[in-house]
Amino acid sequence: MAAHSQAAPVITTADTPQTLRKKRRWGETIIQASLFICGMLSIFTTVAIVFILVSESVNFFTRQQWENTNKRITAVVDETAVQIETGASGAAISAGDVIRLGEEIMVVTGVDGNIILVDRGAQETTAVAHQPGVELFRGRRVNPLAIITTTKWAPQLNQFGIWPLLLATLMVSTIAMFVALPLGLATAIYLSEYASERVRGTLKPLLEILAGIPTVVFGYFALTFVTPLIRAIFGVDSVQIFNVLSAGIVVGILIIPLVSSMSEDALHAVPRALREAAYGLGATKLETSLRIVVPAALSGITAAFVVSISRAVGETMIVAIAAGSGPKNFELGKDGLFSYVLNPLLSAETMTGHIVRISGGDLSYDSIDYNSLFAIGLMLFVMTLLLNIVARRFVARYREVYE
Amino acid sequence: MNTTRNTQFTPNLDARHRRGFIWRILFMAALMTALVVLVALMFSIANDSFGYVVVINKIDPERLALNVINERLLTMPNTQSSADDTALAESITSDPNGIGFFGSAAYQQNRDALKPVAVDGITPDRETAVSQEYPLTRPLYLYTTGDILAQNQAANVFLNYLITHANEATEAAGYLPASEADLAQAQQNWLQANPTLPIPPGTWPAINPDGIDGRLTISGSSTLYPLTEQMLAQLAEAGFRAEVSNENAGSTAGLAAFCRGEADIAAASRPIQSDEIELCRENGRFPQEYPIAADALTIVANPALAFLDNVSQAELAQIFAEAETWQEINPAWPAAPIHRYIPGADSGTLDFFAQQVIQQELAALPTDDLVRILAANISVGRGRALEREQRFYQDKLVFDNPTAWNEACSQPKGARPSGCTAPPRTQAEIYDLVLQEVVQPDVVETFPLYDTLLKGAAIQHQMAAKYPNGSLQFRSWLTKDFITDPQSSTPEAAGVRTAILGSLWVIAITILFSFPVGVGAAVYLEEYAADNKLNRILQTNINNLAGVPSIIYGMLGLAIFVRALEMITSGALFGLVDSTASANGRTILSAGFTLGLLILPLIIINAQEAIRAVPTSLRQASLALGATQWQTTWHHVLPAALPGILTGAILAVSRALGETAPLVIIGASTFIVVDPSGPFSKFTTLPIQIYQWTARPQAEFRNIAAAAIIVLLVLLLALNATAVYLRNKYSTRM
pLDDT tens string A23-61: 778 888 899 999 999 999 999 999 999 999 999 888 888
Does the beta carbon of B359 lie under 8 angstroms from any beta carbon of chain A?
A: no
Higher pLDDT, B346 or B127: B127
Residue-wise over A61-71: b if at least 16 C-beta within 10 A, else e? eebbeeeebeb
Residues A56, A99 within the same domain = no
Q: Which residue of A has its CA nearest to B41?
A: A221
Q: pLDDT tens-digit profile of B55-112?
A: 888 788 888 888 888 888 888 888 888 777 778 888 888 888 889 888 777 787 777 8
- CB nearest A253 (choices: B37, B543, B600): B37
The phi, psi pair for B396, rounded to 5°, reads: -145, 160
Does the beta carbon of B555 lie under 8 angstroms from any beta carbon of chain A?
A: yes
Average of per-residue pLDDT across B221-230: 78
Instruction: Report if residue A177 sits inside a domain.
Output: yes
Is B491 in contact with B700 (CB distance < 8 Å)? yes
Q: pLDDT tens-digit profile of B651-663?
A: 899 999 999 999 9
Q: Residue A51 has what pLDDT? A: 94
Residues A126, A261 within the same domain = no
Instruction: Report if residue A18 sits inside a domain.
Output: no
For residue B415, the number of C-alpha atoms closer than 13 Å in the C-beta half-sphere is 5
Q: pLDDT tens-digit profile of A310-340?
A: 999 999 999 999 998 888 888 877 877 788 8
Hey, are the CB atoms on A384 and B549 less than 8 Å from each other?
Answer: yes
Hey, are the CB atoms on A42 and B27 less than 8 Å from each other?
Answer: no
Hey, are the CB atoms on B713 and A307 less than 8 Å from each other?
Answer: no
Higher pLDDT, A248 or B279: A248
- CB nearest A190 (choices: B31, B544, B545): B31
- Give percent of chain B above pLDDT 90: 21
d(CA A46, nearest CA chain B) in Å: 7
Q: Which of A47, A62, A77 is the last residue of a domain?
A: A62
Q: Residue A402 has what pLDDT? A: 66
For residue B644, the number of C-alpha atoms closer than 13 Å in the C-beta half-sphere is 19
Q: Residue B252 has what pLDDT? A: 78
Average of per-residue pLDDT across A234-238: 88
CA distance B333 to B724: 72
Residues A178, A133 within the same domain = no
Residues A283, A341 within the same domain = yes
**Closest Cα partner for A47 from B556, B546, B532, B665?**
B556
Does the beta carbon of B30 lie under 8 angstroms from any beta carbon of chain A?
A: yes
- CB nearest B551 (choices: A48, A185, A356): A356
Residues A252, A373 within the same domain = yes
d(CA B608, nearest CA chain A) in Å: 12
Hey, are the CB atoms on B44 and A315 less than 8 Å from each other?
Answer: no
Residues A265, A370 within the same domain = yes
Interface predicted TM-score (ipTM) of this complex, two decimals: 0.86
Q: Which residues of B touch A48 (CB under 8 A)?
A: 556, 560
CA distance A119 to A117: 7
For chain B, the average pLDDT equals: 84
Q: pLDDT tens-digit profile of B450-488?
A: 888 888 888 888 887 777 777 888 888 888 888 888 888
Q: Residue B581 has what pLDDT? A: 46
Higher pLDDT, A137 or B554: B554
Residue B618 pLDDT grade (very low, low, confident, very high; cuts 50, 70, 90) = very high
Q: pLDDT tens-digit profile of B133-143?
A: 888 888 888 89
Indicate whether A136 pLDDT > 70. Answer: yes
Average of per-residue pLDDT across A5-25: 61
Q: Which residues of A touch B38 (CB under 8 A)?
A: 206, 209-210
Residues A270, A356 within the same domain = yes
Q: pLDDT tens-digit profile of B524-583?
A: 999 998 888 888 899 989 988 988 999 999 999 999 998 888 888 877 777 666 554 454
Q: Residue A13 has what pLDDT? A: 54
Residue A231 pLDDT grade (very low, low, confident, very high; cuts 50, 70, 90) = very high
Average of per-residue pLDDT across B5-11: 72
Hey, are the CB atoms on B16 and A307 less than 8 Å from each other?
Answer: no
Hey, are the CB atoms on A28 and B628 less than 8 Å from each other?
Answer: yes
> What percentage of chain B's residues is helix, strand, coil (to nearest 5)?
60, 10, 30
Q: pLDDT tens-digit profile of A159-194?
A: 888 899 999 999 999 999 999 999 999 999 999 999
Q: Residue A196 is part of a domain; what is its CATH number?
A: 1.10.3720.10
Q: Residue A289 has what pLDDT? A: 92
CA distance B304 to B306: 5
d(CA A226, nearest CA chain B) in Å: 10
Q: Which of A112, A140, A168 is the last residue of a domain?
A: A140
- Give percent of chain A above pLDDT 70: 93
Which residues is A139 bridged to in the sheet? A66
Of A81-95, B33-47, B307-321, B440-454, highest mean pLDDT: B33-47
The number of distinct structural domains making up chain A is 3
- CB nearest B550 (choices: A191, A316, A359): A316
Hey, are the CB atoms on A392 and B543 less than 8 Å from each other?
Answer: yes
- CB nearest A209 (choices: B27, B38, B667): B38
Q: Which residue of A has its CA nearest to B521?
A: A39
Instruction: Report if residue A15 sits inside a domain.
Output: no
Residue A370, number of CB atoms within 10 A of its CB: 21
- CB nearest B712 (choices: A207, A214, A257): A214
Hey, are the CB atoms on A39 and B20 less than 8 Å from each other?
Answer: no
Q: Residue A3 has what pLDDT? A: 44
Instruction: Report if residue A132 sits inside a domain.
Output: yes
- How far CA A75 is from CA of A87, A108, A137, B18, B464, in Å, comes to 10, 17, 17, 94, 80
Q: pLDDT tens-digit profile of B18-55?
A: 999 999 999 999 989 988 999 999 999 999 999 898 88
**Closest Cα partner for A364 from A354, A352, A376, A372?**
A372
Range of the domain at A40: 26-62
Containing H/E element for A301?
Answer: helix A298-314
Q: Residue B504 has what pLDDT? A: 93
Q: Residue A280 has what pLDDT? A: 94
Which residues is B144 bridged to in the sheet? B288
Q: Residue B180 has what pLDDT? A: 77
Range scoring the smallest mean pLDDT among A237-241, B46-50, B413-417: B413-417
Q: Which residues of A touch B37 (CB under 8 A)?
A: 210, 253
Burial of B401 (0-12, 13-18, 19+ CB in 10 A): exposed
Average of per-residue pLDDT across B253-267: 87
Residues A90, A42 within the same domain = no
Residues A56, A117 within the same domain = no
Range scoring the smallest mean pLDDT among A266-280, B171-185, B500-514: B171-185
Residues A249, A102 within the same domain = no
Q: Which residues of B touch A217 (CB under 8 A)?
A: 41, 45, 658, 690, 709, 712-713
The phi, psi pair for B588, rounded to 5°, reads: -55, -40
Indicate whether A5 pLDDT > 50. Answer: no
Residue B683 pLDDT grade (very low, low, confident, very high; cuts 50, 70, 90) = confident
- Give percent of chain B above pLDDT 70: 96
Average of per-residue pLDDT across A373-395: 90
Instruction: Report if residue A10 sits inside a domain.
Output: no
Residue B202 pLDDT grade (very low, low, confident, very high; cuts 50, 70, 90) = low
- Give percent of chain A above pLDDT 90: 39
Residue A15 pLDDT grade (very low, low, confident, very high; cuts 50, 70, 90) = low
Instruction: Report if residue A321 sits inside a domain.
Output: yes
pTM, to two decimals = 0.77
Residues A212, A224 within the same domain = yes
Q: Residue B731 has what pLDDT? A: 65
d(CA B734, nearest CA chain A) in Å: 25
Q: Which residues of B touch A258 (CB under 8 A)?
A: none
Residues A206, A348 within the same domain = yes
CA distance B228 to B686: 62
CA distance A69 to A79: 22
Instruction: Report if residue A94 sits inside a domain.
Output: yes
Give B288's DSSP letter. Answer: E
Hey, are the CB atoms on A35 and B520 less than 8 Å from each other?
Answer: yes
Q: Which of A39, A62, A85 is the last residue of a domain?
A: A62
Indicate whether B734 pLDDT > 50. Answer: no
Q: pLDDT tens-digit profile of B276-293?
A: 887 888 888 888 888 888
CA distance B447 to B469: 18
Hey, are the CB atoms on A284 and B604 less than 8 Å from each other?
Answer: no
Instruction: Report if residue A1 sits inside a domain.
Output: no
